[in-house]
């Protein structure tokens, strides 16, 4: 569980949410709200959240939230119903309206009213996505051990969204922590080369966003990847770092498909065969986040609930970060790979308002 008391001061250093929002492309935050609210915000086709049509105005939502947190006790269900059914764009406008009306930030109020995993989930969801990812990356860099589940966070931030989103994350990170994400990754004592070099390349990248693919290049680089991952050598040598750290997502997808055609199995299957090899696991996560993020986040959610106890931090991150992006694809992947549903596993491993928040974001199973 994260320590929100320690990070709220950092969050307050982030530029105003309505300005930070301008750094996002329509693809990284596929939502918009007409002036004054009213119009339903666009929701990404594979998002799992539902949004009312018409939606209340930001001011009306801010006033409803105020009612839910005033007086004796907190109306947790009202908070879930409002914030859990609004897009990032709408939550930005609600936060701005709330602060303008009541001279306190919405995050401050949620922090004071809620507790435990429920508070962590609601605050992460309410944050601007760039600020959220900046916070998650900073927390991952502060861990005492460089475990794969913490490295995953950096890979997700760098690879699972658009290049414009990553630029916004880097700006939010610098504003909140007075240092750059790239510098902090490079100086983190948890990492050694070649992992450090690979992660720095990922978080500092800006990939071409077009759909064009070079077939000849895909053939050449599929062969280079094969040479890197076959055998006992470490897989993150220079060619791999260059290819995975710079190529567009369509180009990488074409390269991985060429690899499958040439060798009869996917590179992810080869990397899975290298048990206990952290570098191979990081490379697989990066390739999945860049070309098939639903595979990675299905694994994140499943990993969070396996074994003794639930890793609520990982579970929350996996659901919150994909609910308005591609959670429907994650749910389908989860069902195929694990023969159960995200909903069933969330119900089995969580409870109370925390469970209700996650299930609201996951949406109904189809």
Query: Which tens digits make up the pLDDT trace of 195-215?
Result: 999 999 999 999 999 999 999
* Residues 255 and 225: beta-carbon distance below 8 Å: yes
Same fold, 50-114 and 129-204: yes
309 marked as binding residue: yes
The pTM of the whole model exceeds 0.85:
yes
71 marked as binding residue: yes
Domain boundaries, the chain: 50-114, 129-204, 215-291, 292-365
Report whether the peptide linkage leading into residue 87 is cis, meaning its omega lies within 30 degrees of zero.
no
215-291, what's its fold?
Annexin V; domain 1 (1.10.220)
Average pLDDT score over residue span 251-257: 98
CA-to-CA distance for 305 and 326, rounded, in angstroms?
A: 20
349 marked as binding residue: yes
CA 351 to chain centre: 23
CA-to-CA distance for 158 and 170, rounded, in angstroms?
A: 10
Q: For 124-134, write each residue's pLDDT tens digit.
A: 999 999 999 99
350 marked as binding residue: yes
CA-to-CA distance for 365 and 349, rounded, in angstroms?
A: 17
What sections of 3-87 are H helices per DSSP? 4-12, 17-20, 58-69, 76-83
Give residue 259's pLDDT.
97
Give residue 281's pLDDT.
93
- Please provide the CATH number assigned to the domain covering 129-204: 1.10.220.10
CA-to-CA distance for 93 and 62, rounded, in angstroms?
A: 9
- Please provide the CATH number assigned to the domain covering 50-114: 1.10.220.10
CA-to-CA distance for 187 and 89, rounded, in angstroms?
A: 34
Query: Facing residues of 55 across strands?
Result: 38
Q: For 136-153, write each residue's pLDDT tens digit.
A: 999 999 998 889 999 999
Residue from 271, 329, 318, 326 nearest 153 by CA: 318
Give residue 230's pLDDT.
84
In 3-state terms the chain splits into helix, strand, coil percentages (rounded to 5) of: 65, 0, 35
- Please provide the CATH number assigned to the domain covering 292-365: 1.10.220.10
CA-to-CA distance for 300 and 318, rounded, in angstroms?
A: 6
305 marked as binding residue: yes
The DSSP-derived string for 258-316 is: HHHHHHSS-HHHHHHTSTT-HHHHHHHHHHHHHH-HHHHHHHHHHHHHSSSS--HHHHH
- Confidence band of 40 (pLDDT split at 50, 70, 90): low
Q: Would you state the torsion angle of the CA atoms of residues 61, 63, 64, 70, taken in this order, to the nearest 10 degrees? A: 140
């Amino acid at each position: 569980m994260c320590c929100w008391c320690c990070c709220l001061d950092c969050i307050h250093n982030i530029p105003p949410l309505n300005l930070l929002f301008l750094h996002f492309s329509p693809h990284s935050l596929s939502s918009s709200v007409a002036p004054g609210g009213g119009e339903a915000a666009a929701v990404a086709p594979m998002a799992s959240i539902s949004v009312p049509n018409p939606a209340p105005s930001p001011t009306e939502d801010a006033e409803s939230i105020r009612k839910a947190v005033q007086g004796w006790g907190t109306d947790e269900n009202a908070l879930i119903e409002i914030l859990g059914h609004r897009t990032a764009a709408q939550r930005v406008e609600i936060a701005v309206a709330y602060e303008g009306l009541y001279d306190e930030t919405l995050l401050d109020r949620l922090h004071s009213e809620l507790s435990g995993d429920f508070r962590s989930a609601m605050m992460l969801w309410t944050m601007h996505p760039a600020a959220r990812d900046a916070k998650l990356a900073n927390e991952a860099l502060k861990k005492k051990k460089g475990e794969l589940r913490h490295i995953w966070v950096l890979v997700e931030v760098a690879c699972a969204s658009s290049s414009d989103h990553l630029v916004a994350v880097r700006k939010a990170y610098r504003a909140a922590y007075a240092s750059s994400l790239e510098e902090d990754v490079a100086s983190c004592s948890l990492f050694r080369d070649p992992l450090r070099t690979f992660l720095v390349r990922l978080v500092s990248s800006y990939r071409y966003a077009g759909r064009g693919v070079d077939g000849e290049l895909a053939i050449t680089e599929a062969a280079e990847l094969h040479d890197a991952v076959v055998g006992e050598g470490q897989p993150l040598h220079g060619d791999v770092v260059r290819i995975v750290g710079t190529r567009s997502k369509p180009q990488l997808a074409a390269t991985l498909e060429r690899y499958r055609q040439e060798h009869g199995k996917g590179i992810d299957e080869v990397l899975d065969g290298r048990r206990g090899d952290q570098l191979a696991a990081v490379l697989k996560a990066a390739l999945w986040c860049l070309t098939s993020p639903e595979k990675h986040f299905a694994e994140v959610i499943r990993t969070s609930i396996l074994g003794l106890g639930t890793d609520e931090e990982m579970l929350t991150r996996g659901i919150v970060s994909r609910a308005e992006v591609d959670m429907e694809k994650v749910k389908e992947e989860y069902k195929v790979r694990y023969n159960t549903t995200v909903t069933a596993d969330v119900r089995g491993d969580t409870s109370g308002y925390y469970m209700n928040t996650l299930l609201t974001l996951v949406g109904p199973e189809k």
